[in-house]
Amino acid sequence: MSGDRNRIRVRVHGAVQGVGFRPFVNGLAARFGLSGWVLNDGDGVLLEVEGETDSFVDALQADAPPLSRIDDVVVEGIASTGEDGFTIRMSQSGAVSTSIPADAAVCDGCLSELFDPADRHYRYPFINCTHCGPRYTITKHLPYDRPQTSMAGFEMCADCAGEYKDPLDRRFHAQPVACPACGPQLSMEIEEIVARLKDGEILAIKGLGGFHIVCDARNEDAVAQLRERKNREEKPLAVMAANIVSLKTLAVIDDVAERTLSTSARPIVVLPKQSDNGLAPSIAPGLGEVGVLLPYTPIHFLLFHEAAGRPDGTDWLEEPHALALVMTSANPGGEPLVTGNDEAVRRLDGIADAIVSHDRDIVVRADDSVMRMVDGAPTFIRRARGFVPEPVKLPRTVPDGIALGGHLKTTVCVTRGNEAFVSQHIGDLDTPEALIFFEETVDHLLSITDVTPTWVAHDLHPDFHSTRFALDMAAESDIPALAIQHHHAHVAAVVAEHSLDGPVLGLALDGFGLGEGEGTHNWGGEALWVSGANYRRVGHLAELPMPGGEAAFRAPWRIGAAVLHQLGRGAEIAERYAQMGDINLLGQMLERGVNVAASTSCGRLFDAAAGLVGVQPTASFEGQAPMKLEALATNPTVMENGWRIDDGVLDLSPLLSRLADVGVEDGANLFHGTLIAALAAWAGELAAQAGTQKIALSGGCVMNRVLSEGLQRTLRDAGFAVYRPHVLPPNDGGLSLGQAWAVVCRLDA
């Protein structure tokens, strides 16, 4: 064949629009001396080339633009037309670009212009091109075109328009293109921002998906002040440094972590702290880890550039720099992230000393994504900016629909064809602001996917806002609403992601979800047999008492005390928890069994352990006590006979009793080691009974690295195939995908 002139038609599916694919094809055709054309249509990219096409198809896939994702390429030989030259054709009429890319960090091309004094984009905080810049967060509707974005109000200058229209330019059809002459402007000089930060001030700086609260991460006074102003919130704060060499002085970064941090999505990655890293102690109090991230907007890069003394060129980008900045979401009181300029003035007054904004509106709110290394792989804690709206591939084509998630760490999920579009992290639906964000997200996601749902999925819990919203939506649109049990959804999310066939044993190691059937409905440590649309609860953790219901939620000591009571050691409560306040009331509650709910939650089991060993008796956020306990578990050990398994119920009472009598570190090691061994034994037994070798792990506790790694290793050593979430968080952020999958399986059945 080689040397023959032929003509081929090539269809490319995937994320290939709005990412510079057509100019790339144009360049490739020039490289191989081919004639033909390329265009965008409703299916992706279509092209024809004529000449010696052999190497063209390989290069098409190997050298594709950085932000593209090719799902498949279909090549068909056709008759020669003998045409000369290569053209980029206009999009086919009526065809709508059906994909909006995710936001991407500044590319190398733009960085070299940003720091080149001779370039017209020199030090311009909004530089971008086809390979980088804002996308999802500035786009209102389909198609992804400048008039549909918050760049609509900025008229391109002649230089920008020239680049935008030039098929050979890096900025060809880059919708947000801008320069100092025609684009958005920052409200404060970079020089002043850096001076104020070095002075210990706390600033609110507008980013891609919302405002950040920013301060010098090495200045303890500033960081302590920030915590004070954010109502003494104790959640760990993320830290940004100029580059990987600089980050390596703050955290322990291996190759996988480095690759994860450096992707165009630029997530926060939670990593082990480097000892003596010089960061303010209140960055992540009591924890052995710190969340770090690299700069991703031109503004971020300019801050580090300024601090480095404004060097020309890009060499400085490879050198170590001392500046480290706290970059935390500006979300006062746990409400959604602040995105609007006026809103920033109103809501961040009292937190920030000054507000740095600009005139490019944030259309869609998106927090920074957060990941953690578990078992050598990045695992989502929160999936948002940089990843959304990239779809999750489903095992097959399904009817269009929407799943509305749960109540905490909520996301929603829209299905279209064989793709599932999971929204950015919306958060806890506890405030009016969060409910508005939730409803906006539903509307926006349906709009940008162009989906009219034929079904709607929701949690089994009747009182969740998401459930009520689903029922209203179903009534209004006359479509079926289907309830999916919380932990079934957790397991189904893993089944969908890994395209698992046949029955699996799912372990949902979770906080709380409403159960059904006999016993307590406060589920959260469940063993489920799941096959397609069906599930059966084949086991659960033994019930633990939760005195005062909600009050126990953030008070591990109360659960610890209740467990002591359950173990017949109630007499010890008064002395152990003397400083905790309402001991007498708690004692009476436990004696009379009044207002003491029961729960099978794995999260509460962690709280009980923390309460018994005396780690973090009260917590300022869910998961704080378990995080501390995990940080202390450096050498997990197994307590012989630390558990009992009876008819599918895993009872860890012997372990809990022992925890009351050991020190904090021994307790943390004993708890983790024994829990791993117990869960593995339990799951192995249940999987054997269910006749499956496949075990799916999900639920918030799967983010616990010690537990997750230990459990996976033990189960794999025993011959099981173990699956857990990789493309979505194991916590309730992944629930909507599981609801969607469970519903489409049910509709099929």
Name the site residues for Fe ion (rule: CB under 5 A): 510, 732
Nearest residue (CB) to Zn ion, 264 versus 447: 264
**Single residue of 49, 104, 105, 132 touching Zn ion by CB under 5 A:** 132
Nearest residue (CB) to Zn ion, 298 versus 700: 298
- The letter for the amino acid at 681 is A
How many CA atoms within 13 Å lie on the side-chain side of 418? Answer: 10
Nearest residue (CB) to Zn ion, 109 versus 286: 109
Determine the interface stretch with Zn ion among 128-136, 267-275, 569-577, 716-724 (rule: CB under 5 A). Answer: 128-136
For 555-638, strand residue ranges (E) read: 596-599
**Binding flag, residue 322, Zn ion (CB under 5 A):** no
744 closest CA partner among 495, 464, 575, 529? 495
Determine the interface stretch with Zn ion among 144-152, 177-185, 608-616, 617-625 (rule: CB under 5 A). Answer: 177-185
Residues 178-207 close enough to bind Zn ion by CB under 5 A: 179, 181-182
User: How many residues form the binding site for Zn ion (CB under 5 A)?
Assistant: 10
**Single residue of 100, 129, 238, 505 touching Zn ion by CB under 5 A:** 129
Determine the interface stretch with Zn ion among 65-73, 174-182, 224-232, 311-319 (rule: CB under 5 A). Answer: 174-182
365-393: buried (b, 16+ CB within 10 Å) or exposed (e) per residue? bbbbbbbbbbeeebbbbbbbbbbbbbbbe
- The letter for the amino acid at 487 is H
**Closest distance of CB 297 from Zn ion, Å:** 12
Q: Are 458 and 661 in contact (CB under 8 A)?
A: no
**Closest distance of CB 488 from Fe ion, Å:** 11
Determine the interface stretch with Zn ion among 60-68, 121-129, 525-533, 606-614 (rule: CB under 5 A). Answer: 121-129
Determine the interface stretch with Zn ion among 85-93, 173-181, 376-384, 699-707 (rule: CB under 5 A). Answer: 173-181
Q: Are 361 and 150 in contact (CB under 8 A)?
A: yes
247 closest CA partner among 228, 267, 231? 267
Long-range contacts of 252-258 (CB under 8 A, 24+ apart): 253/292, 254/373, 256/373, 256/376, 256/377, 256/378, 257/373, 257/378
Distance CA 24, CA 62 (A): 12
Distance CA 162, CA 179 (A): 12
Q: Residue 104 forms beta bridges with which residues? A: 133
Nearest residue (CB) to Fe ion, 163 versus 732: 732
Nearest residue (CB) to Zn ion, 305 versus 416: 305
Determine the interface stretch with Zn ion among 132-140, 304-312, 339-347, 554-562 (rule: CB under 5 A). Answer: 132-140
Nearest residue (CB) to Zn ion, 60 versus 177: 177
H-only helix segments in 333-480: 341-347, 432-449, 465-477
State how far the alpha carbon of 514 is from the alpha carbons of 511, 520, 546, 743, 744, in Å: 10, 9, 15, 18, 21
**Closest distance of CB 486 from Fe ion, Å:** 6
**Binding flag, residue 151, Zn ion (CB under 5 A):** no
Q: Which does 306 bind (CB under 5 to 8 A by kind): Fe ion, Zn ion, none?
A: none
Q: Tokens for 197, please give them.
A: 């930060």
**Single residue of 107, 268, 460, 668 touching Zn ion by CB under 5 A:** 107
Distance CA 561, CA 594 (A): 15
Q: Which does 237 bind (CB under 5 to 8 A by kind): Fe ion, Zn ion, none?
A: none
Q: Which does 241 bind (CB under 5 to 8 A by kind): Fe ion, Zn ion, none?
A: none
**Binding flag, residue 104, Zn ion (CB under 5 A):** no
Residue with token string 């000591």:
557
Q: Are 412 and 402 in contact (CB under 8 A)?
A: yes
Tell me if the bond preceding 729 is cis, omega within 30° of 0.
no
Q: Which does 132 bind (CB under 5 to 8 A by kind): Zn ion, Fe ion, none?
A: Zn ion
Determine the interface stretch with Zn ion among 157-165, 403-411, 567-575, 584-592 (rule: CB under 5 A). Answer: 157-165
**Binding flag, residue 114, Zn ion (CB under 5 A):** no
Nearest residue (CB) to Fe ion, 13 versus 461: 461
Residue with token string 């300024």:
306
Determine the interface stretch with Zn ion among 103-111, 244-252, 264-272, 721-729 (rule: CB under 5 A). Answer: 103-111
Nearest residue (beta carbon) to Fe ion: 510
Distance CA 1, CA 340 (A): 60
Distance CA 267, CA 270 (A): 10
**Closest distance of CB 515 from Fe ion, Å:** 12
**Single residue of 131, 135, 173, 227 touching Zn ion by CB under 5 A:** 131
The CA-based dihedral angle spanning residues 569, 574, 577, 580, taken in that order and rounded to the nearest 10 degrees: 140
**Closest distance of CB 269 from Fe ion, Å:** 23
Q: Are 446 and 402 in contact (CB under 8 A)?
A: yes
**Binding flag, residue 303, Zn ion (CB under 5 A):** no
**Closest distance of CB 266 from Zn ion, Å:** 14
Q: Which does 510 bind (CB under 5 to 8 A by kind): Fe ion, Zn ion, none?
A: Fe ion
Q: Which does 732 bind (CB under 5 to 8 A by kind): Fe ion, Zn ion, none?
A: Fe ion
**Closest distance of CB 473 from Zn ion, Å:** 39
624's enclosing H/E stretch is: helix 624-632
Residue 417, by phi and psi: left (phi above 0), alpha (psi -120 to 50) or beta? Answer: left
Determine the interface stretch with Zn ion among 126-134, 189-197, 497-505, 606-614 (rule: CB under 5 A). Answer: 126-134
Site residues (vs Zn ion, CB under 5 A): 107, 110, 129, 131-132, 157, 160, 179, 181-182
